[in-house]
Chain A
Amino acid sequence: AQSVTQPDIHITVSEGASLELRCNYSYGATPYLFWYVQSPGQGLQLLLKYFSGDTLVQGIKGFEAEFKRSQSSFNLRKPSVHWSDAAEYFCAVINNAGNMLTFGGGTRLMVKP
């Protein structure tokens, strides 16, 4: 069975500082991985996705993620955080049929001025 773990429930960073959100997955085949962001009261917006090729994936809003098969990880990074990045971030893996996303528990990001 596929699963996703986000070890950090809450993270606080200062505005302008770098950010890394951790994600570990468990999946028997080649994983297709996603990062979504959810602002308060909003639905989920896709930041980026990985399914093959270059292990460093660029997304929207200046985010990137690196797929490391040996570590079963897909960590999200941003070099300089803005106050508007405060939100909840979810890592997810999809099954081969492409119809069922399995999400991690999420990481809530707070940004200090």
Chain B
Amino acid sequence: DAGVTQSPTHLIKTRGQQVTLRCSPKSGHDTVSWYQQALGQGPQFIFQYYEEEERQRGNFPDRFSGHQFPNYSSELNVNALLLGDSALYLCASNPPVPEPTDTQYFGPGTRLTVL
């Protein structure tokens, strides 16, 4: 049973560029959340996708956008990259109809470096 997978593992971009990160949820899960973890900090919630729609969004600018596909996989897009976007981006998945008591399963993350 595959867990949450993310690609690529590492990515280097320059300021002003755009980046796309990918996530496949754990088998049987249909909800995907994205988190940003800056160096030395805890993860911060970016947004969650369910049934191909953004269900909830954290305090992130519109430069951060996402998409969910019919197979439940998801992409995170960041436009006009800033140095401050350098971070580990984590994807998490939930079972259908998430409840607060559910466990979010996290992938290994994509390390984005913006030069």
Interface residues of A (CB under 8 A from B): 4, 6, 32, 34, 36, 41-46, 49, 51, 90, 92, 94-106
Report the 7 A-B pairs with minimum CB-CB distance, sorted nearest first: A103-B42, A43-B106, A98-B100, A98-B98, A44-B106, A32-B100, A51-B101
Cβ A42 vs Cβ B108 within 8 A: yes
Given contacts A42-B109, A105-B41, A106-B41, 7 further A-B contacts (CB under 8 A): A44-B43, A44-B106, A49-B103, A94-B100, A97-B100, A98-B99, A101-B43
Given A32-B100, A43-B4, A43-B90, the answer on whether A100 and B108 have CB atoms closer than 8 Å is no
Distance of A35 Cα from B40 Cα, bound (Å): 17
Q: Which of B40, B41, B42, B98 has the most CB of A within 10 A?
A: B42
Which residues from chain A contact B99 at a C-beta distance below 8 Å? 98
Given A99-B33, A99-B55, A100-B58, the answer on whether A106 and B42 have CB atoms closer than 8 Å is yes
B7 CB–A CB distance under 8 Å: no
Contact residues on B (Cβ < 8 Å of other chain), bracket: 20 to 34
B104 CB–A CB distance under 8 Å: yes
Contact of B100 among A42, A95, A104, A105 (CB under 8 A): A95
Q: Which of B59-110 contact A (CB under 8 A)?
A: 90, 92, 94, 98-109
Distance of A32 Cα from B106 Cα, bound (Å): 18
Cβ A104 vs Cβ B56 within 8 A: no
B24 CB–A CB distance under 8 Å: no
Which residues from chain A contact B107 at a C-beta distance below 8 Å? 43
Cβ A99 vs Cβ B43 within 8 A: no
Least Cβ–Cβ distance between A3 and chain B, in angstroms: 11
